[in-house]
A = this chain, B = another copy of it.
Amino acid sequence: MKEYSIGQLSKQCDVKVPTIRYYEEIALLDPPGRTAGGQRRYPPSALERLSMIAHARDLGFSIDAIREFIRMSNHPTAPCVDLDKITEKHLNDVKKRIKKLQALETELTAMLKSCDHGQVADCRILQVLSDHDQCQTQH
């Protein structure tokens, strides 16, 4: 039942203190309890919530997408019809990201390999990322 100060939360999740307060302001984080002196004290669950937000942001999800993740997570018992489309949308998005990243991984690995051999890579990072559909189908 330990409680965390905002600074401890910040260190644990690698999120700057003002950013945590900002997330509270835009209602991504529930307002935590306060000490008699007015300082924030977070329950352990806030740690998980915040680090999920940080990772999702890092992966390129918008604040709104994260809001949807949170809503989905908070209402696993909600009518399926409501969740179905949102889930599917995000799943498609995630699959696309994975594909692009895997293509990028291939290219970066190839660059490293040709480096190993002292050879010059015909660098295709840009082409891989530019995603004319060849990239998806021809690799």
Contact = CB atoms under 8 A, between A and B. Distances in A.
Interface size class of A (residues with CB under 8 A): 35 or more
A109 interface: yes
A113 to B, nearest CB: 10
Secondary structure at the A interface, as helix, strand, loop or mixed, is helix
A15 interface: no
Interface in A84-134: 84, 87-88, 90-91, 94-95, 97-98, 100-102, 104-105, 108-109, 111-112, 115, 118, 120-127, 129-132
Tell me the number of copies of this protein: 2
Contacts of A109: 91
Interface of A: 48-49, 51-52, 55-60, 69-70, 72-73, 76-77, 80, 83-84, 87-88, 90-91, 94-95, 97-98, 100-102, 104-105, 108-109, 111-112, 115, 118, 120-127, 129-132
